Amino acid sequence: MMQFKNISKIYHKNGEQEVRALDKVDLLIEKGDFVAIVGASGSGKSTMMNILGMLDRPTSGDYYMDERKVNSYTDDELARIRNRTIGFVFQKFHLLPKTTAVENVELPLIYSDRKNIRGLGLKALEKVGLKDRLNHTPDELSGGQQQRVAIARALVNEPEIIMADEPTGNLDSSATSEILTIFQKLNSEGKTIIIITHEQDIAEKANRVIEIHDGRIIKDYTNKGV
Amino acid sequence: MRKRRILHSCIKILDRNRLNTLFMILGIVIGIAALSLTFSIGKGTEKQLMDNVKKQFNSNNIYIGAGRGQMGSGPQSQGPANTLKIDDLEAIMEQIPGIAMYDPVQWLPDKEVIAGNNSLTTMIKGHSAESEIIWNRSVQKGLFFSSAEEKAAARVALIGSKLATGLFGESDPVGQQFRIGNIPFTVKGVLENQGIDAHGFDMDMDVIIPITTMMKRVMNVDYIMSASLLVEDVDNMDEIVLSITDILRERHYLSDNETNDFSIMTPVEVKDIVEDMNKVFTLILPLITGVALLTGGVVIVLIMLMSVNRRRSEIGLRKAVGARQKDINFQFLMEASLVTLGGGLLGIALGILGTKILAGKMDYTFVIPWQNIVFGIFLPVLIGVAAGIIPAKKAARQDPVEALKN
């Protein structure tokens, strides 16, 4: 469970102009949910994900994860929580170049106490259907395959939450539906999925849709029939 | 475990960015290779010189040179060098206990020696019969000249092996006649091979004749150039040197404000002088290469900084998936030090190879000083850590949100 209480994030553009990327947001995301955060660019949805994912800290307000107040944690503690409980997927994949698929997948395990790194890496690749591509480097893989490697990397340390920032933004429609199928499958296995997108048809696949505008939640509804 | 995994990941990254790694490594390789090469040459020549000095200069020898000024600058550089006499040495022997024997020396460089149709120019040295013991140099053929022959100023000579071949070819030189200038001499023996001396003279071209013969017949002088004294107990060395100074000053009628018209050296001083001469190899050149090494370090800093900029998204990603600041810091420090360590090892290897080639070509002792190995490993790692500090800190502080921005 992730909870925002009166969260604000204020940037200072050019040192002067104040930008409220998030403006007193209250939000509760239940464990096991599939949430889409939608909004135009500049609406504050990326800021929301960065704070939810503990990559960034709010200017004010409190953030709770499973009753623990995240605000008070040190950077090192946040890094540990990210490593154990959150898997990230990015629009641009962010795979290490010249590095094989399986080694990319194993990256989070370097910073964990887990043993049998190779075994876990292979298991994660198998989950996204790329076990036969383990020794391929990113430039030998299609965009969809690269994003699947990135998803395997997000999964490898068995986190509860997967956060994806425009995960299909650079993909064609068939790759997009492949990726979405994987997310739906992961959600059915009990993982909390949070996807940030500006595409309505992707949002429709989610269980719950949160729409942001100017740093505020303007719509928050559950998709019927999902 | 985490450190080991990060280290493993560093090695992979360095391997994948080989061109980058190559540029980083280059300065260190060259620097360390140059450093170990110059240092090896220095140590090699020093060893060679010391071996020679040891051969010619027993640890219980005291050396007296005629003339003002230090040996290093040449005995005749200041003032006349005609004041040291054999009588002085006899007075020293009489008045100071603990001196076993002495060897007066007089020499002439560039003297013509002739045997039949063969003529060569070489160094003529006058010594006493005791010099066989004092200079630790005997004959390999024939006999050393005797005290009687010395007393009689006999025209007998000992010659070096190279000179023997030069004058008499393959035939046995012992008993043969040759001339020094116009004076005929008989070869009494062939000297043991000794190679090049500390001044660069080939001692196997030497002619050694009795000091008396040298003074009376060849040079017509009543003074000597230098003398070596054999001390019975090395512990008395300093005391004896002081006594000799007193006696010589008195005998030469030097007033208190006059400097010595002779110089005295002990093996300790000889060693100091040899080490001094070699400072250019063991200190100055390595210092210069040290500066080159520093430049290599600066290059690493710059390449690392560029690398941190280029790898912003990698750093952001590592942080997102759980790397702490110190993990990132550790990674970049390790990348820098692994590169420099590799460069150091490669540099040592190149240095050894270069020394071996040079030693073979230039005919000097091949030495790999332990300092090379130590410097070749610790210095590069030190440079690596130092060069890595700023880039690593920069990388560690990178904001993951900024770094991952689409």
User: Are A88 and B323 within 8 A, CB to CB?
Assistant: no
Query: How large a percentage of chain A has pLDDT more than 70?
Result: 99
* A94 inside 8 A of chain B by CB: yes
**Type of residue at B207:** V
pLDDT band at residue A3, thresholds of 50, 70 and 90?
Answer: very high
Q: How far is CA A26 from the centre of its chain?
A: 19
Q: What is the pLDDT of residue B74?
A: 47
- Residues in A touching B313 (Cβ below 8 Å): 92, 94
Of A80, A99, A169, the CB nearest to B322: A80
Q: Which of the residues B317, B329, B405 would you substitute to probe the A interface, choosing the one with the greatest number of A C-beta atoms within 10 Å?
A: B317
Specify the long-range contacts of residues B179-182, CB closer than 8 Å, at least 24 apart.
B179/B113, B179/B114, B179/B115, B180/B111, B180/B112, B180/B113, B180/B124, B180/B207, B180/B209, B180/B218, B181/B111, B181/B112, B181/B218
Residue B146 carries which DSSP code? P
Q: Tell me: ipTM over 0.90.
A: yes
Q: How far is CA B395 from CA A144, B80, B84, B306, B317, in A?
A: 30, 72, 75, 11, 12
Query: How large a percentage of chain B has pLDDT more than 70?
Result: 94
Q: Mean pLDDT across the stretch B330-344?
A: 93
What is the chain B residue with the closest CA to A92? B406
H helices of B145-206, in order, are 147-151, 161-168
Q: What is the pLDDT of residue B72?
A: 45
Of A53, A76, A92, the CB nearest to B324: A76
Backbone angles phi, psi at B261, to 5 degrees: -100, 30
* Short-list B195, B219, B199, CA closest to B209: B219
- Residues in B touching A83 (Cβ below 8 Å): 321-322
- Residues in A touching B320 (Cβ below 8 Å): 53, 55, 82, 88
User: Are A50 and B319 within 8 A, CB to CB?
Assistant: no
Of A50, A82, A91, the CB nearest to B321: A82
In this predicted structure, the answer to whether residue B155 has a pLDDT above a threshold of 80 is: yes
User: Are B324 and A94 within 8 A, CB to CB?
Assistant: no
* A117 inside 8 A of chain B by CB: yes
Which H, E and C letters describe B26-59, residue by residue?
A: HHHHHHHHHHHHHHHHHHHHHHHHHHHHHHHCCC
**Which of A12-21, A22-31, A118-127, B74-83 has the lowest average pLDDT?**
B74-83
* A84 inside 8 A of chain B by CB: yes
Single pTM value for the model:
0.70
Q: How many Å apart are CA B203 and CA B125, to the nearest integer? A: 11
Q: What is the pLDDT of residue B69?
A: 62
What is the tens place of the pLDDT at every residue in B18-41? 888 998 898 889 888 888 888 888
Number of residues written out for chain B: 406
Q: What is the pLDDT of residue B367?
A: 72
User: Are A55 and B327 within 8 A, CB to CB?
Assistant: no
* A139 inside 8 A of chain B by CB: no
Cβ pair A210, A219 in contact under 8 A: yes
In sequence order, what E strands does chain A have? 2-13, 17-29, 34-38, 60-65, 68-69, 86-90, 161-165, 192-197, 208-213, 216-222
Q: How many Å apart are CA B344 and CA B175, to the nearest integer? A: 60
Q: B204: helix, coil or strand?
A: helix
Q: Mean pLDDT across the stretch B256-277?
A: 82
Number of residues written out for chain A: 226
Residue B218 carries which DSSP code? I
What is the tens place of the pLDDT at every residue in A42-94? 888 989 999 999 999 999 999 999 888 998 899 999 999 999 999 999 999 99
Cβ pair B10, B331 in contact under 8 A: yes
Angle at which helix A143-155 crosses helix A117-127, to 10 degrees, equals: 130
In terms of C-beta density within 10 A (0-12 exposed, 13-18 middle, 19 or more buried), how is residue B222 classed? exposed
